[in-house]
Amino acid sequence: LMYCEAVLAGGSSTSDGTALSYINMIRSRAGLPDLTQITPDNLLLERRSEFAFENQRFFDLLRFGKAEAILEAYSKTPEASFEFKKTALLLPIPQRELNTYSDMTQNPGY
């Protein structure tokens, strides 16, 4: 799946033979039909299924630029136990870096 993501490289789709063979190996193991092209949406879905309970989903959503939309929509559902804020997508800048670079400011929320 990492190879597929690298081949996709931010594009809208790919039909690279090697990438398709890798993702289709995973899909055939699960009894799913083969794909003829890979899009960001079906790659995200594949990673969500393959890495369930491995805490990869959040970072996948960040890399694909879909974290804000998906987390905000989920936070409005009855089963959500949090209120989404855009600052949740940022990590704190280490204090050592802030001390070294005086023109740098801490990310909001920290």
Tens of pLDDT, residues 49-73? 999 999 999 999 999 999 999 999 9
* pTM, entire model: 0.81
Which has the closest alpha carbon to 24: 55, 53, 51, 3?
3
Residues 78-104, mean pLDDT to the nearest whole number: 93
Average pLDDT value for the chain? 94
Which of the four pLDDT bands, split at 50, 70 and 90, describes residue 75? very high
pLDDT of residue 63: 93
Residue 10 clears pLDDT 90, i.e. is over it:
no
Tens of pLDDT, residues 18-58? 999 999 999 999 999 999 999 999 999 999 999 999 999 99
3-state secondary structure of 38: strand
pLDDT of residue 40: 95
Q: Burial, 6: exposed, middle or buried (Cβ in 10 Å; 0-12, 13-18, 19+)?
A: exposed
pLDDT of residue 99: 96
Q: Give the chain's largest Cα–Cα span.
A: 56
